[in-house]
Amino acid sequence: MTEETTAPYAGAAVREDAIAEEQAHLDAAHERRHEIVRALGAELSTPAQDAVEQARHRGLARHRTELQRAEGGLVFGRLDALDGTTRRIGRIGVSGATDDDDPLVLDWRAQAARPFYLATPVEPLGQAHRRHIRVEGSTVTGVDDEPLDVANASGLVGEGALFAALGERRTGQMTTAAATLQREQDKVVRAEAKGPLVVQGGPGTGKTVVALHRAAYLLFANPQLAAQGVLTLGPSRRFLDYIAQVLPALGETAIVAATPDILVPGITVTAEDPRATEEIKGRALWQPALTRYVASLTPEATAIELFWQAERYEIPAATVGRLIAAAISGRTYHGARAVFADQVRERLVQAIADRSEELFARVDDGLEDIVHQRVDFPEVAGGDEGSEADGVLTDAELDALREKIADDPHVAVTVGRVWPVLDPEEELRRLLHDDAALRQFAPELSAAERAAVSAQQTGWASGDVALLDAISDLLGDTVVHPPEEEFLAERAAARRDWVYGHVIVDEAQELSEMQWHMVARRTPQLSITAVGDIDQAETPHHHTTWAQAVGAVFGSRWTQAALTIGYRTPAEVMALTAPILKRAGSLSEPPRAVRFSGFEPWELDVDEAHLVTETARAFRELTDRWSGGTVGVIAAADRVPVLSAALENVPVITATQSKGLEWDATLVIDPDGIAAEPRGWNRLYVALTRSTQELGRINIGAAGR
């Protein structure tokens, strides 16, 4: 529905009055926003006196940052209720001048704002009208009004505003969509964060938009999450750059954005495994295999010989065995080692104390020849009243002795020989390159699979990162962090063991089973939202359903939602996808496209000799036609190097690299070549559905391939 046909606001004069009215309200909201920012600044200028005040200051500082970033799109909607109440909806709440005043802007994440996304003529939820307010900077440029007492055939919320947003030129960066979220999207955004939620959505259904807005909503609805942060996982650095502006624009700073390859600090992926090897390394069997391997590293019980002040002390093997058994109960390798080391040192303390007491007891038995002998224990206040008198060390002397033993390098070396500190990288290499060890700890692997895994390579490949994470977790970190550390994005990103309040996974269909284990470790309560399209999966893992993808890690502890409406990809393009999905073995229902771009997909057949020149010409024509927007060039992988070298300043990428991205127009080079790649029909499905307006395909003649 458009503003020209919308009652009761129809008519140019009425629309101009509406724009003027919304401009006045927007100006007032910005003025109030500046007042609040100044007041918060004054309050933060007073030093915090205690931990409670420090926590409050952190909350105030975060709120100030959100308000400062809300320069654009502060207000984007309005609800007129049946009872006469009017509310403006925006990206962040702005309070009135007094506690008795209604808010000037209601945060889009607030419960009271839900009717803006959910109200329909069938279920108006107490609302009479909905208005979408179009703003550029701090200027209102238009309104789209939607009465909620008139049937909307499309079923879309704010159809005019939605189509206007979809028709805008792409800039190469994603923007917020809080103003145009649709009913089924909003339901996912606000779904309860209780266990893993997997959201299936085809091209253009707004999966990424939903995931990012869900992160912002959860932080708003559950302020305690800000103390732990939210991890957002994307498929590539290019993708992370693409979405980089969305969350800050929504006012959120308690978020770490990463790819699975960088989740283990200090590890850089520099190698690439063959697809078959990558698939093997991604299997869930490695979790129990690595668990068995790390368990085998527990030391054997052996007698420990320690020296203190030239005296020899021994802990018998049987006692050491009991200490080891007690230490390993429910602990990681290094966690158990720390407990074991403490117990060994404590045994030494007690042995020294016992020997001191024994020597003085011998004096009491009349052994005058050793009357002047004594154990050289630390001198402490009051020492002449305890050990000097009867050989029994006081509590203060025992504590001083413990400190000296804890700092003694010789004791540390002795403990280290029995129970060494292990390096996760060294241990993983040792396992992966030892056929006998693989046979023992990963018996599910065939001889050929073991050979593929143990093939020598320089550096770590992507599939190794999840294995490193698993073995690092089983070994345990050697540095103990304070349990109440404040969340800072840089701090959380630098720690492999940081526990997040929630994890968002985009392009989730690409994760291997071991990568899902890696995700689960970062939120033990399994507070996860995963969005993806199982039909766009192109990694070597064999799953074709979500149950296959996540079942090995989550079992039955997950729920699924669906995004069924395609907003971005025009109907003209989606009409091409049915035979491709069939060839890909799809079991999913493709999304229903709700818009036509007016541009039919076109094809151009060329021979090999003219491929570069025809690609350059087509790219120039599309660039001219979509001036102010973006044009993407996607090619079969084996053609990317040649085209990139020949087409100056024209980024040419593979179908895999295009995942999650969008352009006004897309030029797909050699579709048959893409289809011939591993999981090529899935890749071709991805490549063809990246455009919001126009799709062109350049085919290579049979003689050219």
Query: Binding site residues, as ranges?
Result: 201-208
From residue 358, alpha-carbon distances to 73, 354, 365, 399, 574 in Å are 81, 6, 11, 20, 89
Q: Which helix (DSSP H) or strand (DSSP E) does residue 499 occupy?
A: none
Alpha-carbon distance 364 to 390, whole Å?
9
Alpha-carbon distance 298 to 323, whole Å?
12
Q: In a 3-state reduction of DSSP, which class is residue 530?
A: strand
Q: Residues annotated as binding site for ATP?
A: 201-208
Contacts of 311 (CB under 8 A, 6+ apart): 352, 355, 375
Alpha-carbon distance 387 to 357, whole Å?
8
In which order are the strands placed within the sheet that holds 197-201? 255-258, 230-233, 502-505, 528-532, 197-201, 559-563
Contact present, 678 and 704 (Cβ < 8 Å): no
Alpha-carbon distance 600 to 694, whole Å?
7
Alpha-carbon distance 543 to 534, whole Å?
8
Peptide bond into 47 cis (omega under 30): no
From residue 254, alpha-carbon distances to 191, 251, 413, 495, 507 in Å are 20, 9, 42, 15, 21
Alpha-carbon distance 589 to 581, whole Å?
10
Torsion of CA 623, 628, 629, 630, to 10 degrees: 50
Positive or negative, the CA dihedral 7, 12, 13, 16 is: positive
Residue 16 φ/ψ, nearest 5 degrees = -65, -40
User: For 115-151, b where at least 16 C-beta lie within 10 A, e where not — what string?
Assistant: bbbbbbeeebeebbbbbbbbbeeeebebbbbbbbeee
Alpha-carbon distance 271 to 458, whole Å?
7
Contact present, 391 and 359 (Cβ < 8 Å): yes
